[in-house]
Amino acid sequence: MKPTNVLFILTDDQGVWAAGCYGNPEIRTPSMDRLAATGTRFENFFVATPVCSPSRATFLTGRIPSQHGVHDWIRDGNCGPDAIPYLEGEVAYTDVLARHGWTCGLSGKWHLGDSQIPQHGFTDWFVHQRGGGPYNDAPMIRNGQLGTEPGYVTDVITDEASRLLDHYAEGGYPFYLGVHYTAPHSPWTGHPQEIVDSYDDCPFESCPQEPKHPWAGSLSGHLGNRESLKGYFAAVTAMDANVGRLLDRLEELGLRENTLVVFLSDNGFSCGHHGFWGKGNGTNPRNMYENSIKVPAIFSHPGTIPENRVETALVSAYDFMPTLLDYLELPIPESPNLPGRSFLPALRGEPVSGHDSVVIYDEYGPVRMVRTKDWKYVYRHAHGPHELYHLAEDPDERRNLVDAPDQKERIRELKAMMDAWFAEYVIPNRDGLREDGTAHGQMERGW
């Protein structure tokens, strides 16, 4: 039996609401919908940090920011003589795959430092010079060389991924291919004009432009701007068309039946929801709203993963590494004190053990969150303010109950759970509580 290939598609700043298969009738995502129809869609998939670089580091390593040390989007250390390999010394699941015979390729966004050098088991390496850039004629790295790639970057990333699929099919060896789009991250300009224009008459009822949040950041200047909404929707739809290209190519090459396709985003996003534009750092202090920490998550493997199924279990990005290795029947590293657990039963359509007792933990510098099935508590170390939401009755997080007298005992219990969990996994000299909760971007490793 041949080992299973993996096509891992990762988008950037895609809200869980920004897909037709997640119930949005306005945005056009036929390829995502097609993928969901042939696989399992997760309704409650949470990232570990609501911003790009630390979230991506957690996906790769299975470790939280206070273990791998990446706490914010990486500002410096991407290219040149001062490049910093932020995940040096970490074990990524791609390291494990490469050691066991998979060829690993990456096309798109890396943004975990030292972008000119292939890292962690990757041999094929076509990446952004930094975290992103313009959508046309983007600065990229090919074979270690800095250059500008002509064309619309979402198409360019797919072109390279398609070329690699052809190469892997010809070679006949198992592969892992990461396709990391920058869409629908800003800028919300430069997208195919015919797609932008196709949203001219969209009412955008799925993105209510609410009164400006008191903590709203600079991105919230887009509040009420229909052109920005058209640009965001167009970025998603253009990306979705490229996902369709990849699925078609897999089928044409006869690889679809032996390939696990995973679709995820690195963090959520709000386009006017709660009165701001952005993700976790779209407000100051940082937020842990559902739209920031929940992402679209679809797993498809014909004949293995049940089709057209919706999974409601709560799972986290720190569960992804053990799940993928479990799925591929590969060993899970023993030493790094991994906080996650495999949700392989959910991919088989089986009940997830202890589903009702699953608790999700998040951190973003000095902001920490504990979320149960029904409750969410957000604790902002030293400075506050803190938040408590009864999600079972208030899923949109409108009523902060943190000062309610009848919730004092619940808060004590949730805070104790949070403290015990982080105490178990935090590496003291990489502790996010040491981070500046108002800074934007990580400029160096903090140890």
Q: Are strands 122-128 and 136-142 parallel, antiparallel or unpaired?
A: antiparallel
In whole angstroms, how large is the CA radius of gyration of the chain?
21
297 beta partners: 42, 264
Residue 387's pLDDT is 98
Retrieve residue 199's tokens: 């949203």
**Inter-CA distances, 408 with 187, 381, 388, 401, Å:** 43, 18, 10, 10
Retrieve residue 340's tokens: 């996650």
233-234-237 Cα angle (round to 5): 90
Long-range contacts (CB closer than 8 Å, 24 or more residues apart) made by 199-206? 199/229, 199/230, 199/233, 199/234, 200/230, 202/26, 202/229, 202/230, 202/233, 203/26, 204/26, 204/229, 204/233, 205/26, 206/17, 206/24, 206/25, 206/26, 206/27
Running DSSP on this structure, what letter comes out for residue 22? Answer: G
Q: Which of 237, 251, 73, 75 is nearest to 152 (CA)?
A: 237
Cα–Cα distance for residue pair 299/253, rounded to 1 Å? 20
Alpha-carbon dihedral of residues 151, 153, 155, 156, nearest 10 degrees? Answer: 80
Phi and psi based region of residue 197 (left: phi greater than 0; alpha: psi -120 to 50; beta: remaining) = alpha
Retrieve residue 11's tokens: 């988008």
Cα–Cα distance for residue pair 5/318, rounded to 1 Å? 21
Q: For the chain (length 447 residues), average pLDDT per consecutive 10?
A: 95 98 98 98 98 98 97 93 93 98 98 96 97 95 94 98 98 97 98 98 98 96 97 98 98 98 98 98 97 98 97 96 97 90 94 73 97 97 93 98 98 98 96 88 74
Residue 383's pLDDT is 81
Residue 437's pLDDT is 83
Q: Which of 274, 265, 280 is nearest to 380 (CA)?
A: 280
**Inter-CA distances, 320 with 6, 47, 49, Å:** 13, 10, 14
Cα–Cα distance for residue pair 45/328, rounded to 1 Å? 20
- Find where tokens 């850039």 sit: 133
Residue 352's pLDDT is 75
Question: Is 114 within 8 Å of 77 (Cβ atoms)?
Answer: yes
298 membership: H or E segment, kind and range: strand 297-300
Domain extents in the chain = 5-351
CB within 8 A of 436, min separation 6: which ones?
A: 365
Q: In what order do the strands lie in the sheet with 387-390?
A: 360-364, 367-371, 375-380, 387-390
Residue 382's pLDDT is 78
- pTM for the structure as a whole: 0.97
Running DSSP on this structure, what letter comes out for residue 229? Answer: H
Question: Is 378 within 8 Å of 50 (Cβ atoms)?
Answer: no
Q: Looking at the domain that runs over 5-351, which CATH code has it been given?
A: 3.40.720.10
Retrieve residue 272's tokens: 């006017």
Residue 356's pLDDT is 58
Question: Is 54 within 8 Å of 105 (Cβ atoms)?
Answer: no
Cα 89 to chain center, whole Å? 22
